[in-house]
Structure 1
């Protein structure tokens, strides 16, 4: 039996084997930690203030099992409610609809269990994400495809999983789906499969509001492929080769068109964000200035420091990666800051889009000692933040 399992496992490509391993180990470790933290809080009589106790009740209604229900917090309930709306009946467009629409479809063979469907989609997207990240790292950092290259790819997968808020890849939120589609788009762009890039990018921009911005770094990779030629004839040739990239912003335009058809407003997403969460767009530089130079909560300033470190690593990554990946990271991180001071509470979550950092860090930590030390630091940091996320009333990670 063991020999059969070994032979079967050897036939599985290494990127799938390692993706499944990282997913399984992180899921088990986080589930055990979550159960322990929840039991410790209950044993110490620590719980949310009465004004915020509703979420705890909502989690209990999802399942009496903590290892299952603890993943439902904050926006997860919004996606659950959207997934339960009848087909075509969405009039609340404050959230992009790709994730709940997928959950609604997956829930059909599950007997209508939209909560389980959301978790399964997140889990599947996370595994596919890790598989793509492994292969993408081999493309952008590998020279020969030898053992050292595969070790770098494994480090990249591990570091992404251990990002400070990386536990949210397991939650029924859009993080795993969005980053999966982003890495897939860049992987196929590196392989010059532009039609596939366009199709993936279409769904990418339907999954989160910042998705359409990814067309910019993808276009940079297209120009690299074509030698950065300029002039009318060159631009026409670029358009003939790269027209599928137009599908990327088309995804968000589709969502806007749905809003116009269903509720009569092309910009209902922005208006819903304003009405529901008091989000007023502003310059990201203003958000940074406020966080650094004005009176804000210490935890908000700390989150901003982490974001600035991410931006600095993205720029430093020009040593290893094409500038398109620095542009991708800077664009998406700064775009998240345009929602103003409200962003601080969710900033650690929004930083998960910065998958190129995993490759940059993997390239900088070759050697067992550096890798072990960095892995330990990341794991400890994530463990603390996960415990605080379980205690959701601390508002540390939203």
Structure 2
């Protein structure tokens, strides 16, 4: 008789064990958000207004309206055919999550801020995992921190959907690297229901699926993923098309804010004015941010990264810089392009901790001042 072999049980790691390596990234994310809100409070106090006036204002008021009333607002075109501002321009996932918290009695604004906070922590966690798997835990922490202290970072403590978008994108790319195709498809559906910028992720996932099919990898799963990925975005655009009775309904609604695709002409004109004329200080700072983003984009092309990262980052930057109107929002539009921070993270990872302890808080303060200055002093949406 052969001796019986003992049963070997493989213990699955607990949630705490899975989260523990990401705690420094999540903790620093929370710390820098508190710092940024403190700067907003100080500038608001100087301007004689409450910081609470801003955290739920601008786009946040639209998201809250959708959470409370759904898309019940009538569509009212003006005499020239231009539509009035309408809540249908705002994608549904963020207000839906806000409304779900409202079902347990949480008021709308605190519910929206809770979604923002939890999504931001999830984004920091996902970015840590991306960076760790790419170049080690130190790069993972820096990737999460650099994203959170970017010039568009103030919306990460406001009722905005950028944190939710980045959380979904980050975890989608993690799943894609692990070839979990069906999970990638489902997460991309939710991304398409969060913001129109989810189209950049759909393109990255679609190309990755095509490459896998040509290489005959993973059977039918890449095809299923590629078919699932655009359903969220296309589904919402189709819903808006039916509501507006126009195939281009969502894009038509953007005319209410004078938003359109202009291939970068508006951004170029504003950046040139900010750098060459006696323009307002915020225009000059925003122009420098745009130039910095272009330089970082070129740097990413010279950095070896997974192809889906490159595709997603490049398309996101193009979307951010090729839309008209609201020049000051360029920093926010660039916030989802966290791929731009990868070369910086790789560079900063070589520095000692004492240098990072100076550079990172200094960068966070500058970024927080920029966003708070726009809102509290210039009275512009970030």
TM-score tier by shorter-chain length is 0.7 to 0.9
Do residues 187 (structure 1) and 174 (structure 2) align? yes
User: Any idea what SS the aligned residue of 1:326 has?
Assistant: helix
1:345-364 alignment to 2 at 5 Å?
Answer: 345-364=328-347
1:92-131 alignment to 2 at 5 Å?
Answer: 92=86, 93-110=88-105, 113-131=107-125
Rounded Cα–Cα distance in structure 2 between residues aligned with 1:83 and 1:268: 21
Rounded Cα–Cα distance in structure 1 between residues aligned with 2:59 and 2:145: 26
Partner of 1:14: 20
Contact 1:223 1:238 in 2 (8 A): no
Deviation (angstroms), 1:98: 1.7
Cα RMSD over matched residues? 2.9
Rounded Cα–Cα distance in structure 2 between residues aligned with 1:304 and 1:248: 34
Rounded Cα–Cα distance in structure 2 between residues aligned with 1:73 and 1:380: 22
1:280 alignment partner, one of 251, 260, 263: 260
Deviation (angstroms), 1:315: 3.1
2:199 alignment partner, one of 189, 206, 212: 212
Q: Deviations over 1:253-299 (max 9, x none)?
A: 1112222343433322212210x212233223x34543455688554
Deviation (angstroms), 1:165: 2.1
User: Any idea what SS the aligned residue of 2:56 has?
Assistant: coil
Deviation (angstroms), 1:393: 3.4
Deviation (angstroms), 1:175: 0.8
Closer, same or farther: CA 103–29 of 1 in aligned 2, 3 Å? same
Structure 1 unmatched runs, 5+: 1-7, 43-55, 57-65, 142-148
User: Any idea what SS the aligned residue of 1:180 has?
Assistant: helix
Closer, same or farther: CA 329–343 of 1 in aligned 2, 3 Å? farther
Rounded Cα–Cα distance in structure 2 between residues aligned with 1:332 and 1:89: 30
Normalized per residue, which structure has more helix? 1
Q: Deviations over 1:70-117 (max 9, x none)?
A: 41221111111111115x646541211221122122211025x21111
1:391 alignment partner, one of 358, 376, 380: 376
Contact 1:99 1:174 in 2 (8 A): yes
Contact 1:157 1:358 in 2 (8 A): no
Rounded Cα–Cα distance in structure 1 between residues aligned with 2:358 and 2:305: 24
Q: Deviations over 1:224-256 (max 9, x none)?
A: 656x65xxxx69x88752331332322111112
Rounded Cα–Cα distance in structure 1 between residues aligned with 2:292 and 2:220: 36
Q: How many residues align?
A: 350
Partner of 2:365: 380
Deviation (angstroms), 1:28: 2.8
Structure 2 unmatched runs, 5+: 1-13, 75-85
Partner of 2:7: none
Structure-2-length-normalised TM-score: 0.81
2:229 alignment partner, one of 242, 248, 257: 248
Rounded Cα–Cα distance in structure 1 between residues aligned with 2:205 and 2:299: 20
1:26 alignment partner, one of 22, 26, 32: 32
Rounded Cα–Cα distance in structure 2 between residues aligned with 1:73 and 1:178: 19
Contact 1:136 1:183 in 2 (8 A): yes
